């Protein structure tokens, strides 16, 4: 029985190593596919890709930031705001995210003023 437990633990451990080792390139691929789609103005595809990243890596500040940009481009202001805020919580010192959020807030405030 001891051999079976050791085998089971080794199998689980090796599976975790393989999964973890493979998951980072898959996340990076999804991030890059999303960027490529966004550059072609395929915002729905970009959103799909970045949501896929967040399914496996919910703490990805980059994916939340990118998703916020996509929502902003589609005029989904509340969704964009939520994603920017998550990205900032995850990476509060990231100047790129802070800049994007500040630009968004300025644009969002102007939009709200125009609606009034």
pLDDT tens, position by position, 60-104: 999 999 999 999 999 999 999 999 999 999 999 999 999 999 999
Structurally, what CATH architecture does the domain formed by 24-115 represent? Alpha Horseshoe (1.25)
Q: Is the distance from CB of 83 to CB of 67 less than 8 angstroms?
A: yes
Structural domain spans, the chain: 24-115
Q: What pTM, to 2 d.p., does this model score?
A: 0.74
Residues 6+ apart with CB under 8 A from 80: 68, 69, 71, 72, 104, 108
Asked if 66 and 49 touch (Cβ cutoff 8 Å), the reply is no
Give the tens place of pLDDT for each residue, 6-60.
Answer: 443 433 433 333 334 444 666 778 888 898 899 999 999 999 999 999 999 999 9
């Amino acid at each position: 029985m001891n051999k079976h437990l050791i085998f089971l633990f080794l199998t689980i451990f090796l599976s975790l190593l393989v999964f973890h080792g493979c998951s980072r390139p898959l996340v990076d691929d999804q991030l890059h596919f999303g960027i490529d789609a966004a550059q072609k103005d395929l915002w729905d595809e970009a959103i799909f890709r970045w949501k896929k990243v967040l399914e496996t890596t919910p703490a990805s500040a980059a994916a939340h930031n990118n998703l916020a940009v996509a929502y902003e481009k589609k005029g989904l202001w509340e969704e964009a705001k939520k994603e920017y805020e998550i990205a900032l919580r995850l990476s509060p010192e990231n100047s790129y995210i802070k800049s994007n959020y500040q630009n968004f807030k300025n644009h969002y405030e102007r939009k709200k003023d125009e609606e009034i």
